[in-house]
Amino acid sequence: MTQEISDETLCRRVAAQDEAAFDVLVARHQGRAYRLAWSLLRNAEDARDVSQEAFLRVYRTAGGFRGDARFSTWFYRILVNLCLDHQRRGRWWRRLLLRDDGTGDPDREVLERQPAPVADPGDALGRQQVMARLWAAVDRLSPQQRAAILLHVQEELPTSQIAEVLKCSEATVRVHLHRAVGALRKIVTRD
């Protein structure tokens, strides 16, 4: 049985201009990268572009990967930073062109159009609607809180790894998560 080459080894090979190693890394992480970028940006075209840019950064700066963290943590940091930068850059003109509730963004509209949750939580349709409302509420969190929540529930990262990705302390991650959950509770109970 062939042992799978680790991401960290592949990254070192990319630093030595090994294009085949780069292809393997992309194949391994493209799905998660696109999904996380889409969850943060809620726009398929932007998610595609930003996740590709993250791989380009890996290709160019693989030599800077020190190997004292996991490759996935390093890669998530690049990707999340690019997404947050993308949001910061786009915010001023989005405010001008779109209504602040996100109307006009087709990917977001799918979530926002969901009706309010029904009373019976056991009902499958009601459950689906509750989830849709919850995820719509996640979109209204601050970028840092949203990133922390997504890394926790979607990527299942522990707070220590989220702290590495967001380049902050674990205590700060706990504050982000606490405020996010608090805001979601308010939104869900209000709705």
Partner 1 sequence: MHPDTELTGYVTDALPPAGRARVAAHLDACADCRRAVEEGQTILANLAAGVPAPPPIDWGRYRADLSARVQARSRRAWWARPMPAVLAAGVATAVLLLAIHGLDRRPGELAAVEETMLGASLPLLQQYRVVERLDLLEDLEAIRHLDRLGAGGR
Cβ neighbours of residue 12 under 8 Å, at least 6 residues apart? 62, 65, 67
Among 10, 13, 25, 55, binds partner 1 (CB under 8 A): 55
Which of 18, 135, 143, 168: binder of partner 1 (CB under 8 A)?
135
Largest CA distance in the chain: 59
Q: Which of 35, 142, 41, 54 is nearest to 90 (CA)?
A: 41
Angle at 104 between CA 102 and CA 107, to 5 degrees: 80
State the Cα–Cα distance between residues 35 and 44, nearest whole angstrom: 9
Q: Tell me: does residue 63 bind partner 1 (CB under 8 A).
A: no
Q: Which of 9, 30, 61, 142 is the binder for partner 1 (CB under 8 A)?
A: 30
Alpha-carbon span 109 to 168, nearest angstrom: 32
Contacting partner 1 (CB under 8 A), which of 79, 141, 166, 173? 173
Site for partner 1, residues 140 to 169, rule: CB under 8 A: 149, 152-154, 156, 158-160
Q: Does 59 bind partner 1 (CB under 8 A)?
A: yes
Any contact of residue 79 with partner 1 (CB under 8 A)?
Answer: no
- The amino acid sitting at 74 is W
Report if residue 181 touches partner 1, rule: CB under 8 A: yes
Is 81 or 129 the residue whose CB approaches partner 1 more closely? 129
* Cα separations in angstroms, 82 against 23, 48, 86: 21, 12, 6
The footprint of partner 1 (CB under 8 A) covers 22-23, 26-27, 30, 34-35, 38-39, 44, 47-48, 52, 55-56, 59-60, 107, 111, 128, 130-132, 134-135, 138, 149, 152-154, 156, 158-160, 170-171, 173-175, 177-178, 181, 184-185, 188
